[in-house]
């Protein structure tokens, strides 16, 4: 049953709700800038449990399983700035434009989300203004500052994907996806560097999906529009469900990212 707490009539986030944005190494001067849009699975108290079973919040539909740990590991190894988003993608997907059908989903991989059914425009707007917008304003400000320094800059968005889709049975039988749309520079360099160091890992470009202007936000808005070399990293989530796996993948990805960035910088 859908449960709602008493809530303010003008704001969604209340005292006690976490801030949507968390910074790691905010003052870093690294040329690599990390984001993790689906790190968290918090739900504003005003939305109760969204009408779904508690166990659903452990699935990929609620957040990118293991992505936060990998992103934090990369930030540490690369001494890079990282910005994390704390709310569940079932509240609002912060890597989608507001007009995208799946920015606020009514159903995700077979799970119905009752709190999102027939959502009023004002409530949709509150989620966007209070959760989605602060994240991307923070990213934009940070990138503005870094671009003003006149140094090379590389945008890396960290995600994870489920090996099997519950609703369709689709199987993703590879470990790492490197995604892009119009600009393949960083993805291709990273694929080359990573494959050379990890011949046991299957790496695919633009899998399990392809970045585009309709279903993505960070790469089109902050990468392509600025002309910043970028990549969206997708690690299969059964490999990073625990700290050991997250550390291992941060160890694998960090030197390859550094080499890829150095190669692009040298060719600039």
Q: What is the pLDDT along the chain (268 residues), one digit of tens a residue?
A: 344 444 445 799 999 999 999 999 999 999 999 999 999 999 999 999 999 999 999 999 999 999 999 999 999 999 999 999 999 999 999 999 999 999 999 999 999 999 999 999 999 999 999 999 999 999 999 999 999 999 999 999 999 999 999 999 999 999 999 999 999 999 999 999 999 999 999 999 999 999 999 999 999 999 999 999 999 999 999 999 999 999 999 999 999 999 999 999 987 6
Q: Say how far apart CA 68 and CA 85 lie, in whole Å.
A: 9
Interior/surface letters 15-33, b for 16+ CB within 10 angstroms, e for the rest: eebeebbbebbeebebbbb
Side-chain half-sphere CA neighbours of 119 within 13 A: 23
For the chain, strand residue ranges (E) read 21-24, 32-36, 81-85, 107-108, 111-112, 154-161, 176-179, 203-205, 229-236
Find out whether 105 and 93 touch, Cβ atoms under 8 Å.
Answer: yes
The answer to whether the CB of 94 falls within 8 A of the CB of 135 is: yes
């Amino acid at each position: 049953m859908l449960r709602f707490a008493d809530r303010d009539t003008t704001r969604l986030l209340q005292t006690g709700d976490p801030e949507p944005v968390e910074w790691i190494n905010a003052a870093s001067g690294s040329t690599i800038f990390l984001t993790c849009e689906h790190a968290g699975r918090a739900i504003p108290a005003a939305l109760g449990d969204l009408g779904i079973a508690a166990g659903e919040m452990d699935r990929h539909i609620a957040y990118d399983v293991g992505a936060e740990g990998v992103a934090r590991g990369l930030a540490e190894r690369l001494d890079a700035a990282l910005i994390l988003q704390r709310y569940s993608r079932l509240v609002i997907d912060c890597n989608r434009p507001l007009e995208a059908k799946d920015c606020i989903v009514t159903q995700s991989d077979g799970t119905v989300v009752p709190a999102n059914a027939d959502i009023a425009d004002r409530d949709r707007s509150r989620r966007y203004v209070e959760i989605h917008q602060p994240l991307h304003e923070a990213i934009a400000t940070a990138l503005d500052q870094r671009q003003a320094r006149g140094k090379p800059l590389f945008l890396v968005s960290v995600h994870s994907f489920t090996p099997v889709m519950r609703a369709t049975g689709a199987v993703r039988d590879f470990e790492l996806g490197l995604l892009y749309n119009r600009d393949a520079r960083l993805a291709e360099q990273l694929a080359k560097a990573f494959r050379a160091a990890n011949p046991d890992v299957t790496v695919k470009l633009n899998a399990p999906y392809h970045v585009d202007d309709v279903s993505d936000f960070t790469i089109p808005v902050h990468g392509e529009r600025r002309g910043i070399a970028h990549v969206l990293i997708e690690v299969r989530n059964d490999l990073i469900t625990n700290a050991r796996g997250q550390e291992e993948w941060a160890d694998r990805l960090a030197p390859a990212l550094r080499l890829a960035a150095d190669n692009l910088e040298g060719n600039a």
